[in-house]
A and B are shown apart, each in its own frame.
Chain A
């Protein structure tokens, strides 16, 4: 363990500021750069798991600010409830989420919301999730972490990072054998040494820049603009009683509401206390610089009747933020043997459509905590290196699989029929392949993970085959002018396809997972074949049902 800070063997107190610029180096076991969601959740996890290690968080801002990424899904929520013990906090201070909900429009974008076809739940989903006010959650976590002995530094800029890499060339090693960086905090500047460094500083990531890890994602050019509104209309007071009865009077407001169009979508996510997050995500070809400004954003929204109906009577836009390019990857997530790690947006980001950001944080923080715990318990550097490589490969696999959900598929969003097919496929695969294994901590079992990684090329091929099938259907629909044919008046329950939810309560043998995979694949393919028949296209192979291996080879599914 690093030399503990004075008087903080069990519950590390705050680093005491030296009044002079040339301060003596302070030591901490684990330094977390960035006090946003990823960094604060990790700090909490580390205190709960490894209370004997000191943890310090260095956050550049003095105050938590509005950030996008309000909607959690089932992996992240399981992490927050089970791993971090935040159940009471979340139910008392944030909003329970009513799943994802999708609405569809006419080509002229003039449908009223109540006339739009809709995919969404008619009951609160079995597996919980939340709508989170990020600024409030982060402020609360900072407070809880400080009370729990995490050494919190706000308005503290960490810079001049020097990672100690034991097997690197001399310039990559430090005399202390620890990672070293400098912190500027107000008028003060002091050096810090840490045994482990975690970069949770978001897109600005110091480690990604230092090690040149960032990988551009050129083939998914998606931009986003978002802002907060107050004074918006109550979605659940809209329309006739029959429209509300259709979802059994559960709150649509509590869903992540997507208004879907070919090549883009608009979100409505409640943040509680009268605030609604509204955002646009779409192809960069559609993005215009004016949309970054309040007037431009409002003008864009005004062109969409259903969304505008919720805003036009007195809603006030509080702020607007934008990213011109959302997705990026990383060459490496973790340097376990060298004791550095990336988590959250410091590492990678895919696309917000299914809100995967906090799922990635859950996985990354679990892996980081596990590696630090093993290292601290004396596991060899070789063992840690092997585990780190497997965890890294899994994160890359997870990122690749996530990108396959979105890449080249934004045109599909504009059609109720096509997004219904794709959504059913995506949500069933999510529960079967990713969420349930997480709930049972299978991601921390090296043998299970290695087994999964041996099959990853086949699984990625299978997902890519479905992506191609969806693209083929969309092209056919568009060519025949059918994209919008079912966009009014339809309703389907979002989780109907997950008819295996009961099975997920306990760990399942791999064979059972594969059986479920085969069933999902065949169900979706059969429905796709029916849509192809509508288009007058004959599938090859013509069999209605295929064996699992046929889905996983490099061959068209129809």
Chain B
């Protein structure tokens, strides 16, 4: 899966799960501040991401996620099987 495809999947999840307007979602969108997600939404998002990657979400990486782009980076690293700790930059 290319980075662009991952981005499409991630935005698809955000639109479907949280009824967001696709036009509001940009790579730099902040999940909590801009997209108005909360800690419960984050659980749902992790469940969805887990189903894409089939790997356990790395808590160190998860805690650093701030933006849509951070999610894409995390999924990309996990799909590549690379150690993902520190893979997301805020």
Q: Which A residues are within 8 Å of any B CB, using their own CB?
A: 454-455, 457-458, 511, 514-515, 518, 547-550, 552-555
Minimum Cβ distance to chain A for residue B62 (Å): 6
Given contacts A548-B40, A549-B62, A555-B60, 18 further A-B contacts (CB under 8 A): A454-B47, A454-B51, A455-B43, A455-B47, A458-B46, A458-B47, A514-B40, A518-B39, A518-B40, A547-B38, A548-B42, A549-B43, A549-B46, A550-B39, A550-B62, A552-B46, A554-B59, A555-B59
Contacting residues, chain A, for B59 (C-beta < 8 A): 550, 553-555
Q: How far is the CA of A95 from the CA of B38 in the complex (A)?
A: 46
Q: Across the two chains, which residue of chain A brings its CB closest to B63?
A: A550
Q: A553-B57, A553-B59, A555-B59 are in contact. Are A548 and B43 (CB under 8 A)?
A: yes
Q: Give the CA-CA distance A458 to B39 in the complex, in Å.
A: 14
Which residue of chain B is the closest to A548 with respect to CB atoms? B39
* B57: nearest chain-A partner, CB-CB: A553
12 A-B residue pairs with Cβ-Cβ distance under 8 Å, sorted by A, are A455-B43, A457-B50, A511-B40, A548-B43, A549-B39, A549-B43, A549-B62, A550-B62, A552-B46, A553-B58, A553-B59, A553-B62
Which residue of chain A has the shortest Cβ distance to B46 in the bound complex?
A: A549
Docked complex Cα distance between A400 and B26 (Å):
40
CB-contacts of B47-90 with A (<8 A): 47, 50-51, 56-60, 62-63
Number of B residues whose C-beta is below 8 Å from A?
Answer: 16
B2 → chain A closest CB, angstroms: 26
The smallest C-beta distance from A284 to any residue of chain B, in angstroms, reads 33
Of all chain B residues, the one with the shortest Cβ separation from A457 is B50
What does DSSP make chain A's interface, helix, strand, loop or mixed?
helix
Interface of B is mostly: helix
CB distance from B57 to the nearest CB of A (A): 6
A455 to B51, CA, bound (A): 10
B7 to chain A, nearest CB (A): 21
B74 to chain A minimum Cβ distance, whole angstroms, is 12
User: Which residue of B42, B43, B46, B50 has the most chain A CB atoms within 10 A of its CB atom?
Assistant: B43
Q: Which residues of B contact A550 (CB under 8 A)?
A: 39, 59, 62-63
Give Cα A457–Cα B50 distance, bound, in whole angstroms.
Answer: 10
Closest 10 CB pairs of A and B: A547-B39, A555-B59, A553-B59, A549-B42, A548-B39, A514-B40, A549-B43, A455-B47, A548-B43, A454-B47
Name the B residues within 8 Å of A515 (CB-CB): 40
Tell me, rounded to whole Å, the shortest Cβ–Cβ distance linking A475 to chain B: 22
- Collect the chain A residues with CB atoms within 8 Å of residue B57's CB: 553
Measured CA separation A518–B40 after assembly (Å): 9
Query: What residues of chain B lie closer than 8 Å to A457, measured between beta carbons?
Result: 50
Chain B residues closer than 8 Å to A553, beta-carbon distance: 46, 57-59, 62
Instruction: List the B side residues contacting A518 at CB < 8 Å.
Output: 39-40
| CB closest chain-B residue, reference A552 | B43
In the assembled complex, the Cα of A553 lies from the Cα of B47 at a distance in Å of 11
* Mask of B11-50 contacts with A, CB within 8 angstroms, 1/0: 0000000000000000000000000001110110011001
Question: Which residues of chain B have C-beta atoms less than 8 A from A552's C-beta?
Answer: 43, 46
Q: In the complex, which residues of chain A have a beta carbon less than 8 angstroms from the beta carbon of B42?
A: 547-549
Residue of B nearest to A454 (CB): B47
Q: Give the chain A neighbours of B58 by CB distance below 8 A.
A: 553
Shortest CB-to-CB span from A300 to chain B, Å, is: 45
Distance in Å from the Cβ of A225 to the closest Cβ of chain B?
Answer: 41
Q: Report yes or no: B47 in contact with A514, Cβ–Cβ below 8 A.
A: no
- Which residue on chain A has the smallest CB distance to residue B44? A455
Q: Once the chains are docked, how many angstroms separate the CA of A515 from the CA of B41? A: 11
Contacts of B40 in A (CB 8 A): 511, 514-515, 518, 548
Residue of B nearest to A462 (CB): B43
Residues of A within 8 A of B62 (CB): 549-550, 553
